[in-house]
Amino acid sequence: MRLGVLDVGSNTVHFLVVDAHPGAAPLPAYSHKAELRLAELLEENGAISEVGVERLVSMVASSLRVAEDKGVVDLLPFATSAVREAANGEEVLRRVEDETGVALTVLSGQDEARLTFLAVRRWFGWSSGRLLNLDIGGGSLEIACGLDEQPDVATSLPLGAGRLTSRLPGEVADPGDLRELRRHIRAEIAGTVGDFTRLGPPDHSVATSKTFKQLARMTGAAPEGAGVRVPRKLTRSGLSAWLPRLAAMTPGERAQIPGVSPGRARQLLAGALVADAAMDLFGLEELDICPWALREGIILRRLDAMDGHESRIAIEA
């Protein structure tokens, strides 16, 4: 069965075509994406600008054309924090549906954490024991931990790399702004740590998302071209050594780092601060990088339903 997953994120709108059937790993067949950075296309009142809405509608329409060309039989469209938190979110959803016919499902932060956790559990398996997963998106940080396919604890914090980058204006970060942002990040994460540590230490700590992949590559992990099954890690020591260097760089200079895309270079410093704070406060010296994340979680949940089993993870109304 050929599925199409339309992921409207804070940074990127990504339409992924996969060949999938119950009991097998979904196989990517085609990728169509654009870096719209909706989290940065906000007006003063927190609404997505008309430019942002028009770009989103255009991208959804082009994704439908790709779906038709590639023989997609089932479309799974969803949106995350950029639309969820926009002052005009409902209006944006109506515009998209009126102009394209696509009804986007808006995931809550906990939905994101749970579905990403499902993907991580399926990738690493039951031998991982109690899993802890961290995911840094453009608008939010998701954290989930548990022994089963549904986490025992899942939370979402407004600590996305795109959102926080607005607090670091200028080509090179001001030291005062940097200290203030670091304090803010650590205070937000520290307020949730107790909910997770009372479960006991994780047996396996994992990270997902483009931000973590780029940080791991920056600190020495294998390049993307080495293959999806090559083990990759992010170490706290490696990340800590890079932080002062990132803070002293312009976005253009960060874009020259192997594995860092020009579109993500500006956000890399804020993402690194979140990753460093989370690893420190949770006492993690290293994180395994999982190639599967939210999109795969959406696919796996759909496959479970096709297989006649009620999904263990339901999107909240």
Q: Residues of 157-181 as b/e, b for ≥16 C-beta within 10 angstroms?
A: bebbbbbbbeebeeeebeeeebeeb
Q: Is the pLDDT of residue 317 over 50?
A: no
Q: What are the CA-CA distances from residue 9 to residues 82, 210, 220 (Å)?
A: 6, 12, 27
List of residues 6+ apart from 1 with CB closer than 8 A: 19, 20, 21, 73, 74, 306
Report residue 124 CA to chain centroid gap.
Answer: 18
263 has pLDDT over 90: no
- Give percent of the chain above pLDDT 70: 97
Q: For position 41, what pLDDT does the model report?
A: 81
At 30 the pLDDT is 97
268-293 pLDDT, tens digit per residue, is 999 999 999 999 999 999 999 999 99
Q: What is the pLDDT of residues 150-189, one digit of tens each?
A: 999 999 999 999 999 999 999 999 999 999 999 999 999 9
What's the rounded mean pLDDT across residues 226-238?
A: 96
pLDDT of 315 strictly over 80: no
Over the stretch 96-147, which tens digit does the pLDDT of each residue have? 999 999 999 999 999 999 999 999 999 999 999 999 999 999 999 999 999 9
Q: What is the predicted pLDDT for the residue at 297?
A: 96
Q: What is the pLDDT of residue 96?
A: 98
Q: What is the mean predicted confidence (pLDDT) over 213-223?
A: 97
Query: How far is residue 311 CA from its own chain's centroid?
Result: 22
- Structure confidence at residue 308 (pLDDT): 58
Instruction: Using the predicted structure, report yes or no on whether residue 313 has a pLDDT greater than 80.
Output: no
How high is the pLDDT of residue 305? 87
Q: How far apart are CA 255 and CA 303, in angstroms?
A: 38
Do the Cβ atoms of 107 and 79 come closer than 8 Å? yes
Q: What is the DSSP string of the chain?
A: -EEEEEEE-SS-EEEEEEE--TTS--EEEEEEEE---GGGSB-TTSPBPHHHHHHHHHHHHHHHHHHHHHT--EEEEEE-HHHHS-TTHHHHHHHHHHHH---PEEPPHHHHHHHHHHHHHHHH-GGG-SEEEEEE-SS-EEEEEESSSS-SEEEEES--HHHHHTTS-SSS--HHHHHHHHHHHHHHHHHHHHHHHTT---SEEEEESHHHHHHHHHTTPPPGGG-TTS--EEEHHHHHHHHHHHHTS-HHHHTTSTT--TTTTTTHHHHHHHHHHHHHHTT-SEEEEPS--HHHHHHHHHHHHHTT---SS----
Q: Record the tokens describing residue 174, joined without a space.
A: 């001001």
pLDDT at 85 over 70: yes
Confidence bin at 312 (pLDDT 50/70/90): very low
Q: Distance of CA 193 to CAs 114, 219, 272, Å?
A: 17, 26, 19
Q: CA-CA distance, 136 to 156, in Å (whole number)? A: 10
Residue 310: per-residue pLDDT: 43
Q: What is the C-alpha separation between 9 and 273, in angstroms, rounded?
A: 21
- Cβ density class 191-219: b for 16+ within 10 Å, e for less: ebeeebeeeeebebbbbbbbbbbbbbbbb
Q: Is the pTM of this model over 0.75?
A: yes
**In order of start, what are the domains of the chain with their CATH numbers?**
2-106 (3.30.420.40), 109-294 (3.30.420.150)
